[in-house]
Amino acid sequence: MHSIEPYYSWRNHYISSNDPQSPFYDRKYNEMSYHMKLYDHFIHPQWDVFGSSTLYLKILFADYEDGYAIIELFGEWNDCLHNDIMLLKRDVIETLQDAGISKYILIGENVLNFHYSDDSYYEEWFDEVTDEDGWIALLNFNDHVLEDMKTIDLDSFFVMGGELSEMGWRTYKPEQLYYRIQDCVEYRLGLIG
Protein backbone atom coordinates (compact mmCIF):
# COMPACT_ATOMS: atom_id res chain seq x y z
CA MET A 1 0.00 0.00 0.00
CA HIS A 2 2.87 2.38 0.63
CA SER A 3 3.59 2.53 -3.11
CA ILE A 4 0.11 3.85 -4.00
CA GLU A 5 0.53 7.60 -4.18
CA PRO A 6 -1.79 10.39 -5.31
CA TYR A 7 -1.63 11.29 -8.98
CA TYR A 8 1.23 13.76 -9.33
CA SER A 9 1.36 14.71 -13.03
CA TRP A 10 -0.92 17.73 -12.50
CA ARG A 11 1.34 19.31 -9.88
CA ASN A 12 2.47 21.88 -12.46
CA HIS A 13 -1.21 22.98 -12.61
CA TYR A 14 -2.19 22.88 -8.94
CA ILE A 15 -0.84 21.97 -5.48
CA SER A 16 -3.41 22.02 -2.67
CA SER A 17 -0.84 22.89 0.01
CA ASN A 18 0.00 26.07 -1.96
CA ASP A 19 -3.66 27.12 -2.34
CA PRO A 20 -4.83 29.54 0.40
CA GLN A 21 -8.45 28.44 -0.20
CA SER A 22 -7.65 24.73 0.23
CA PRO A 23 -8.33 22.99 3.55
CA PHE A 24 -4.76 21.65 3.22
CA TYR A 25 -3.08 25.03 2.71
CA ASP A 26 0.45 25.23 4.08
CA ARG A 27 0.56 21.52 4.92
CA LYS A 28 4.08 20.11 5.04
CA TYR A 29 4.91 16.63 3.75
CA ASN A 30 7.82 14.48 4.86
CA GLU A 31 8.71 12.15 2.00
CA MET A 32 11.13 10.26 4.25
CA SER A 33 8.59 9.40 6.93
CA TYR A 34 5.89 6.85 6.34
CA HIS A 35 3.79 7.58 9.43
CA MET A 36 0.18 7.25 8.23
CA LYS A 37 -1.50 3.87 8.23
CA LEU A 38 -4.49 2.19 6.69
CA TYR A 39 -5.10 -0.50 9.27
CA ASP A 40 -1.66 -2.11 9.70
CA HIS A 41 -0.24 -0.93 6.36
CA PHE A 42 1.80 2.23 5.94
CA ILE A 43 0.62 4.52 3.16
CA HIS A 44 2.40 7.13 1.05
CA PRO A 45 2.97 10.41 2.94
CA GLN A 46 1.52 12.57 0.13
CA TRP A 47 -2.06 11.54 1.00
CA ASP A 48 -3.95 14.08 3.06
CA VAL A 49 -5.61 13.26 6.38
CA PHE A 50 -9.00 14.84 7.05
CA GLY A 51 -10.05 13.07 10.24
CA SER A 52 -10.90 9.59 9.01
CA SER A 53 -8.74 6.68 10.13
CA THR A 54 -9.46 4.66 6.99
CA LEU A 55 -10.02 7.15 4.15
CA TYR A 56 -7.48 9.59 2.76
CA LEU A 57 -7.59 12.01 -0.15
CA LYS A 58 -5.71 14.45 -2.34
CA ILE A 59 -7.23 17.49 -4.00
CA LEU A 60 -5.66 17.13 -7.43
CA PHE A 61 -7.11 20.31 -8.86
CA ALA A 62 -9.45 23.14 -7.92
CA ASP A 63 -10.71 25.86 -10.24
CA TYR A 64 -12.59 28.53 -8.33
CA GLU A 65 -13.57 30.47 -11.43
CA ASP A 66 -15.39 27.51 -13.03
CA GLY A 67 -16.32 26.14 -9.59
CA TYR A 68 -15.00 22.57 -9.67
CA ALA A 69 -12.62 20.34 -7.77
CA ILE A 70 -11.05 16.99 -8.65
CA ILE A 71 -10.38 14.84 -5.59
CA GLU A 72 -8.66 11.45 -5.51
CA LEU A 73 -9.63 9.11 -2.67
CA PHE A 74 -7.73 6.22 -1.11
CA GLY A 75 -8.65 3.61 1.48
CA GLU A 76 -11.88 2.33 2.95
CA TRP A 77 -14.93 4.61 2.98
CA ASN A 78 -16.55 3.67 6.25
CA ASP A 79 -19.62 5.63 7.33
CA CYS A 80 -20.77 2.83 9.62
CA LEU A 81 -17.83 2.96 12.05
CA HIS A 82 -16.13 6.29 11.34
CA ASN A 83 -18.79 8.52 9.71
CA ASP A 84 -16.37 9.33 6.90
CA ILE A 85 -18.95 11.28 4.90
CA MET A 86 -19.49 13.66 7.83
CA LEU A 87 -15.73 14.24 8.15
CA LEU A 88 -15.35 14.69 4.39
CA LYS A 89 -18.32 17.05 4.21
CA ARG A 90 -17.47 19.18 7.25
CA ASP A 91 -13.67 19.29 7.01
CA VAL A 92 -13.05 19.37 3.24
CA ILE A 93 -16.15 19.99 1.15
CA GLU A 94 -17.53 22.90 3.18
CA THR A 95 -14.22 24.76 2.89
CA LEU A 96 -14.29 24.24 -0.88
CA GLN A 97 -17.96 25.27 -1.07
CA ASP A 98 -17.19 28.48 0.82
CA ALA A 99 -14.61 29.22 -1.89
CA GLY A 100 -17.17 28.72 -4.69
CA ILE A 101 -16.82 25.02 -5.60
CA SER A 102 -20.11 23.36 -6.57
CA LYS A 103 -18.97 20.61 -8.94
CA TYR A 104 -16.99 17.66 -7.64
CA ILE A 105 -15.21 14.85 -9.41
CA LEU A 106 -14.32 12.12 -6.93
CA ILE A 107 -11.83 9.58 -8.25
CA GLY A 108 -12.29 6.29 -6.44
CA GLU A 109 -10.21 3.59 -8.13
CA ASN A 110 -8.28 3.21 -4.85
CA VAL A 111 -11.36 3.05 -2.63
CA LEU A 112 -11.25 -0.53 -1.44
CA ASN A 113 -14.64 -0.85 0.28
CA PHE A 114 -17.69 1.16 1.23
CA HIS A 115 -19.66 0.64 4.44
CA TYR A 116 -22.82 2.67 4.77
CA SER A 117 -24.80 4.14 7.60
CA ASP A 118 -27.45 6.65 6.49
CA ASP A 119 -27.68 9.16 3.67
CA SER A 120 -28.28 12.44 5.52
CA TYR A 121 -24.88 14.02 4.80
CA TYR A 122 -25.07 12.90 1.16
CA GLU A 123 -28.49 14.48 0.84
CA GLU A 124 -27.26 17.70 2.46
CA TRP A 125 -24.25 17.87 0.13
CA PHE A 126 -26.42 17.13 -2.91
CA ASP A 127 -28.98 19.79 -1.95
CA GLU A 128 -26.25 22.39 -1.47
CA VAL A 129 -24.53 21.76 -4.80
CA THR A 130 -27.74 21.53 -6.82
CA ASP A 131 -28.80 24.90 -5.39
CA GLU A 132 -25.70 26.21 -7.19
CA ASP A 133 -26.29 24.17 -10.40
CA GLY A 134 -23.58 21.79 -9.24
CA TRP A 135 -23.14 18.04 -9.15
CA ILE A 136 -21.02 15.24 -7.71
CA ALA A 137 -19.58 12.66 -10.12
CA LEU A 138 -17.88 9.43 -9.11
CA LEU A 139 -15.10 8.43 -11.47
CA ASN A 140 -13.59 4.93 -11.76
CA PHE A 141 -14.98 3.51 -8.54
CA ASN A 142 -14.83 -0.28 -8.34
CA ASP A 143 -18.07 -2.08 -9.21
CA HIS A 144 -18.48 -3.63 -5.75
CA VAL A 145 -18.13 -0.19 -4.14
CA LEU A 146 -20.76 1.29 -6.49
CA GLU A 147 -23.09 -1.63 -5.75
CA ASP A 148 -22.74 -1.02 -2.01
CA MET A 149 -23.47 2.68 -2.57
CA LYS A 150 -26.56 1.83 -4.59
CA THR A 151 -27.83 -0.25 -1.66
CA ILE A 152 -28.77 2.97 0.12
CA ASP A 153 -29.67 4.80 -3.11
CA LEU A 154 -26.60 7.06 -3.20
CA ASP A 155 -26.98 7.03 -6.97
CA SER A 156 -29.76 9.56 -6.26
CA PHE A 157 -27.06 12.00 -5.14
CA PHE A 158 -24.05 11.03 -7.25
CA VAL A 159 -23.65 10.67 -10.99
CA MET A 160 -21.94 7.31 -11.30
CA GLY A 161 -21.43 4.19 -13.36
CA GLY A 162 -21.39 3.68 -17.11
CA GLU A 163 -18.68 5.64 -18.89
CA LEU A 164 -17.62 7.15 -15.56
CA SER A 165 -16.52 3.71 -14.38
CA GLU A 166 -13.94 3.16 -17.08
CA MET A 167 -12.53 6.53 -18.07
CA GLY A 168 -8.79 6.83 -18.70
CA TRP A 169 -8.68 10.14 -16.83
CA ARG A 170 -4.89 10.36 -16.59
CA THR A 171 -4.67 11.14 -20.31
CA TYR A 172 -6.50 14.45 -19.77
CA LYS A 173 -5.37 17.78 -18.43
CA PRO A 174 -7.51 18.88 -15.46
CA GLU A 175 -9.73 21.26 -17.43
CA GLN A 176 -10.17 18.69 -20.22
CA LEU A 177 -11.28 16.09 -17.69
CA TYR A 178 -13.71 18.56 -16.15
CA TYR A 179 -15.34 19.33 -19.50
CA ARG A 180 -15.49 15.63 -20.37
CA ILE A 181 -17.17 14.78 -17.06
CA GLN A 182 -19.46 17.80 -17.35
CA ASP A 183 -20.65 16.52 -20.74
CA CYS A 184 -21.37 13.09 -19.20
CA VAL A 185 -23.24 14.63 -16.28
CA GLU A 186 -25.31 16.97 -18.44
CA TYR A 187 -26.17 14.12 -20.80
CA ARG A 188 -27.28 11.96 -17.88
CA LEU A 189 -29.35 14.77 -16.41
CA GLY A 190 -30.94 15.40 -19.81
CA LEU A 191 -29.50 18.87 -20.16
CA ILE A 192 -28.00 18.06 -23.56
CA GLY A 193 -29.33 15.77 -26.23
Give residue 191's pLDDT.
61
Mean pLDDT of 145-164: 95
Pairwise CA distance, residues 51 & 124, whole Å: 19
pLDDT exceeds cutoff 60 at 140: yes
Residue 2: which H helix or E strand, with range? Answer: none
Pairing assessment for the beta strands 135-139 and 103-115 based on DSSP bridges: parallel
Query: Burial code of 175-190, b = ≥16 C-beta within 10 A, e = fewer?
Result: eebbebbbebbeebee
Q: Give the model's pLDDT for residue 160.
A: 96
Render pLDDT for 74-116 as a digit per residue (tens, 0 to 9).
999 999 998 999 999 999 999 999 999 999 999 999 999 999 9
Position 113: which residue type? N
**Which residue in 88, 102, 85, 108 sits closest to 164, CA to CA?**
108
| % of the chain at pLDDT higher than 90 | 82
Look at residues 88, 87, 70 and name the one whose alpha carbon lies nearest to residue 14: 70
pLDDT in tens, 118-138: 889 999 999 999 999 999 999
Q: In terms of DSSP H, where are the helices of 67-192?
A: 79-82, 84-88, 94-98, 120-131, 143-151, 174-188
* Predicted confidence (pLDDT) at residue 31 exceeds the cutoff of 90: no
Q: Spell out the domain ranges in the chain.
A: 48-188
pTM for this prediction: 0.95
Residue 2 is predicted with a pLDDT of: 61
Instruction: Answer whether residue 192 shows pLDDT above 60.
Output: no
Domain 48-188 indexed as CATH 3.30.2130.10: no
